Amino acid sequence: MSNFTNNHPKRPPFHRIGVMGRAGKASIVETLNELIRLLKMRQLSIVIDAQTATIEGILIDGEHTDDSIIITPRHTMGEQCDLVIVVGGDGSMLQAASVMAGTGVPVLGINRGRLGFLADINPDELTEKVGQVLDGQYWLVERFLLKLQIIQNTTNNNTDNALTQILHEDIALNDIVLHAGKSVHTIDFKLKINNKDVYRQHADGLIVATPTGSTAYALSAGGPIIHPTLDAICLVPMHPHTLSDRPLVVAGSSQIMINIHKDNRTQPMVGADGKTSVPLENDQTLIIAKHDKTLLLLHPNSYSFYEACRTKLHWNLYSEEFSLD
């Protein structure tokens, strides 16, 4: 039984709005300032995380701000806000997810990146769409996350299931990736699902993705698009030496175990959502499973996953010849 749902009731009117963004583009500053002006015009309290507050050009004074703006450490945003709006691309949304997961505070994205599967409001629609959300015209959807653990085996025999010390932990909204780092050699690894042998594989790596992440790195590796409401995990091999090896979709409740074979010749690495990777040795086990925390995303009423696929993946490249009408 899934532990997440997609029919959350609407919340009471939002009063304390969190604002998060990432430095690097002048366009992000423009959109942040437009958002702040809109929220001030509606006389709402604004909570800005300390990292965003340091972005050059943002319309606040970090030391002498007015009473409508509060500056707080990013990790406390979930305690300070009843809605968080992120300005940036999907990478910014992934950063926000690591902070907001498990807080129950919904997150809304304004896209200033490339694709924007997570940040789905276009900047030229900011006033209209954010206004509609603040007026209660939205719907909420829960997305699950993955957790990874690297565990030291009790023996050097990777077939032994006795595990001990946790060496590393992380979470991911999109994907957890086993890869070969800077090496040009394939990785020799073994895969188990729910403690059942699946295969021993020679490949450049393996992408383990949520439905949310199925339109990200996993898609570029030939993985399927999974509707975000499904309770499933996708395993996509990267350049497998066995040409018949195909992506595999398993239940969201599955536990995935990966061991590096003793004959492996390269240094495997593991990363979550593009964050800094860590090594995985052949006397360690990588365990991936659903995290008990979820992320609550907020979409305008007009949002459609299929429309997002059509427009962002250019399914209707010649729309005048292949009209949907």
Q: At what angle do helices 126-134 and 26-41 cross, to 10 degrees?
A: 40
213 φ, ψ (degrees, to nearest 5):
-85, -5
Catalytic (active-site) positions: 90
Tokens linked to 236: 């996509």
CA distances in angstroms from 92 to 161, 218, 308, listed in the order given: 38, 19, 18
- Give the span between the Cα atoms of 80 and 210, in whole angstroms: 28
What is the number of other CB atoms lying within 10 angstroms of the CB of residue 100?
26
Q: Are 127 and 133 in contact (CB under 8 A)?
A: no
Going by the DSSP 8-state scheme, the letter that residue 121 receives in this structure is B
CA distances in angstroms from 267 to 28, 132, 189, listed in the order given: 38, 50, 11
- Give the span between the Cα atoms of 209 and 308, in whole angstroms: 19
The DSSP bridge pattern shows strands 83-88 and 107-111 to be: parallel
* Maximum pairwise Cα distance, the chain: 64
